[in-house]
Amino acid sequence: MKDILKYFPNNIYILIQETINQNPNTKLEENAIEIRIRNNRPIIIKLKDLDIIIQYNITESEILYILEKLCENSIYAYKNQICQGYITIFGGHRVGITGTCVIENGNIINVKNISSLNFRIAREIKGCSNKILKDVINKEHNTIFTTLIVSPPGKGKTTILRDLIRNISNGIPQMNFRGKTCGLVDERGEIAATYRGVPQNDIGIRTDVIENVSKTQGLQMLIRSMAPEVVACDEIGTRQDVTAIKYALCSGVKGIFTMHGNEMKDIKANSEISELIENHWVEKIIFL
């Protein structure tokens, strides 16, 4: 929480600290998931099953102050990230941004009149993938099964994916599993949360990360340049995603991927992903 509060004006910093002190039972510093800032509306601190509302309406100038601090007083230098809708800050936290998009030739070239900021608080849960390691690891051949992890939004698939990569990259002595060179396409910077070239999250000692590119570009670049044994990316679903995955798997690489869904019928409803299953490109499916 301290990594985030330093970006706020002093009066808001004090308000949030007072709220933390007034709600000891919620353990806000440990359990907060998001801090939502919206122009001319109250501050909302979101926990898993509870919203803490601070009755203070944020002003436009305060949002601009926060944005300038996020961008280290150089908004222009962060223009590309802002156009993607977020900024990654030290500690691996991501700040979502909304406002008025400026469009040129069908592309977003700027976002002005920033109206909302969403501080998504990053937390690693090391060991959260341990229960599914036996399903992912192919002990007979000291490799992994190409695996698809399926869950609804907000149920932890990205967190589990990150921990799986860490385990596979480091190796698992208790399973006699040697660590693998992993290639991670971190399209939105959510998994490794790289800040100035340094992953803020533990993704293992043998993991190479490429971020802020499409899965298609990222997988091709990793395979051509880094020779991974395992590749991973989050939230697949499009024809382009499936084409890139086939390219990777045809190169002799194993993969771990995630997608949104609740059950098997959700996979079958996506014709692109269903093709991967029917043609046995994916060896294991895990529902969270």
In 3D, which of 94, 129, 281 has the Cα closest to residue 203?
129
What's the pLDDT score for residue 87? 86
User: pLDDT grade, residue 240 (50/70/90)?
Assistant: very high
What's the pLDDT score for residue 147? 97
Domain ranges of the chain: 2-120, 130-287
Q: How far apart are CA 111 and CA 16, in angstroms?
A: 27
pLDDT tens-digit readout, 145-166 = 999 999 998 788 989 999 999 9
26 has pLDDT over 90: no
Inter-axis angle of helices 239-250 and 271-278, to 10 degrees? Answer: 20
User: What is the average per-residue pLDDT within 54-65?
Assistant: 95
pTM reported for the whole predicted model: 0.77
User: What is the average per-residue pLDDT within 180-207?
Assistant: 89
46 has pLDDT over 90: yes
Q: Which residue has the higher pLDDT, 189 or 147?
A: 147
Q: How far apart are CA 98 and CA 114, in angstroms?
A: 6
C-alpha 7 chain-centroid distance: 21
Q: How far apart are CA 191 and CA 209, in angstroms?
A: 9
What's the pLDDT score for residue 42? 97
Q: Compute how many other C-beta atoms are within 10 angstroms of the C-beta atom of residue 238.
A: 15
What's the pLDDT score for residue 90? 79
Q: In what order do the strands lie in the sheet with 147-151?
A: 207-211, 182-186, 230-233, 254-260, 147-151, 284-287
What's the pLDDT score for residue 154? 73
What's the pLDDT score for residue 54? 96
Q: How far apart are CA 54 and CA 62, in angstroms?
A: 15
User: pLDDT grade, residue 234 (50/70/90)?
Assistant: very high
177 has pLDDT over 90: yes
209 has pLDDT over 90: yes
- The highest-level CATH class for domain 2-120 is alpha beta
51 has pLDDT over 80: yes
Using an 8 Å Cβ cutoff, are 183 and 222 in contact?
A: yes
Using a 10 angstrom Cβ sphere, with 0-12 exposed, 13-18 middle and 19 or more buried, the burial of residue 279 is exposed
User: What is the average per-residue pLDDT within 137-145?
Assistant: 95
221 has pLDDT over 90: yes
91 has pLDDT over 90: no
Q: Which residues, listed in sequence order, are joined to residue 38 by a DSSP beta bridge?
A: 116
Query: Is the CATH number 1.10.579.10 carried by domain 130-287?
Result: no
What's the pLDDT score for residue 6? 93
Arithmetic mean of pLDDT over the chain: 92
User: pLDDT grade, residue 178 (50/70/90)?
Assistant: very high
Please state, for a pLDDT cut of 90, what percent of the chain lies above it. Answer: 69
92 has pLDDT over 80: no
Using an 8 Å Cβ cutoff, are 190 and 234 in contact?
A: yes
